[in-house]
Amino acid sequence: MTLRSTGPGRTTSVPGVDPSGVDLSTRLGNLELPNPVLTASGCAAAGRELHHFVPVDTLGAVVTKSIMLAPRSGRATPRMVETASGMLNSIGLQGPGIDHFLAHDLPWLRARGARAVVSIAGGSIEEYAELARRLRGAGTLAAVEVNISCPNVEDRGQVFACNRAAAAAVLHAVRRATDPGTPVLAKLSPDVTDLVDIAEGCVEAGADGLSMINTTLGLAIDPVTMRPALAGVTGGLSGPAIRPIAMRCVWQVHRALPDVPILGMGGLRTGLDVLEMVLAGASAVSVGTAVFHDPSAPTRILAELRTALAERGIERLTDVVGHAHRPPDEVEPVESDHGNGWC
């Protein structure tokens, strides 16, 4: 039984619902998903390895590793290092390029019934546009995720996602080159002064939704060599350490742009983590670093989310997207029997 607060010191009993009856379907723009759990770009490649543990067609979608026009070897090793609550990576967008992806990876995903959200990355606006054109000719995609947290070679190595005008220019070019029926998601970086401003620029330029957040910049020193642990010195921090940052970013952007769908990510490990991000404003989530130590994490997290919603008497996931933004006098906070606290 679940307890619902009706005021200070007063509660009423609210029956939970049958977990099997919970509707986990959701939407990102015009993209309909059977459930809200996707992979995170870069953490499951194109799904082949993960498929041994989690059938890719059972996921909301597979978000591929960011694809570039040409093959790329990535940065020098070492390029990954564990931290106390996550990991740093400096992979450098290693990949086989768009030709290999279209010939091998995309057909593999389609053959297994997976919904493919293809992440793209480029060093110039034209590269992004060309990638979008190539994907348009490849047939139906679930969505295109535009990774704008890449070096902008047209602006002396700056990052597109750190400048409203640059971010908007990329999204405008990709939106024009992408099939009108395919949602375009802008992947945002937390390492900016005004995230809402960047988000607004991307939406005005044609983004149908937002993926947030990318990793945040970090550094680790090896006490043995007394040098940076990564060959590239700095790297992207992911894992549980960044979850509060991701939650803050999703909260801020949803509050400013409540009608724009958000694909939330950053340190999600459990169903309750996902519920928290949905309450902050995410319509769906990507699970990334967790799969490195638990390849079955997406399936486990989805089951935990279903149970968490059922315990709270929630029949549809979409009913609680952004729920935490509602004024206190308009909601009845729900307390779980299991001591999970107020949500």
pLDDT in tens, the chain (343 residues): 343 444 444 444 556 899 999 999 999 999 999 999 999 999 999 999 999 999 999 999 999 999 999 999 988 999 999 999 999 999 988 999 999 999 999 999 999 999 999 999 999 999 999 999 999 989 889 999 999 987 655 665 678 999 999 999 999 999 999 999 999 999 999 999 999 999 999 999 999 999 999 999 999 999 999 999 999 999 999 999 999 999 999 999 999 999 999 999 999 999 999 999 999 999 999 999 999 999 999 999 999 999 999 999 999 999 999 999 998 877 665 544 444 443 3
Alpha carbon 112 to its chain's center: 22
pTM value > 0.85: yes
Q: What's the pLDDT at 114?
A: 97
**Domain chopping of the chain, boundaries:** 19-335
CATH class of 19-335: alpha beta
Asked if the peptide bond before residue 213 counts as cis, ω within 30 degrees of 0, the response is yes
Helix (H) or strand (E) holding 45: none
Q: Can you state the angle between helices 195-204 and 164-177, rounded to 10 degrees? A: 30
Cα dihedral: 36, 42, 47, 53 (round 10): -80
The Cβ of residue 266 has, within 10 Å, a number of other Cβ atoms equal to 32
Read off the DSSP letter of residue 92: -
Q: What's the pLDDT at 158?
A: 73
Alpha carbon 199 to its chain's center: 15
Q: What's the pLDDT at 26?
A: 98
CA distances from 272 to 64, 158, 279, 309, 315 (A): 25, 36, 10, 9, 16
Strand-strand pairing, 334-335 and 2-7 = antiparallel
Positive/negative CA dihedral, 46, 52, 54, 59: positive
b/e code 287-322 from CB counts within 10 Å (16+ = b): bbbbbeeebebbbbbbebbbbbbbbbebeebeebbb
Catalytic residue numbers? 150
Tokens for 328, please give them.
């206190």
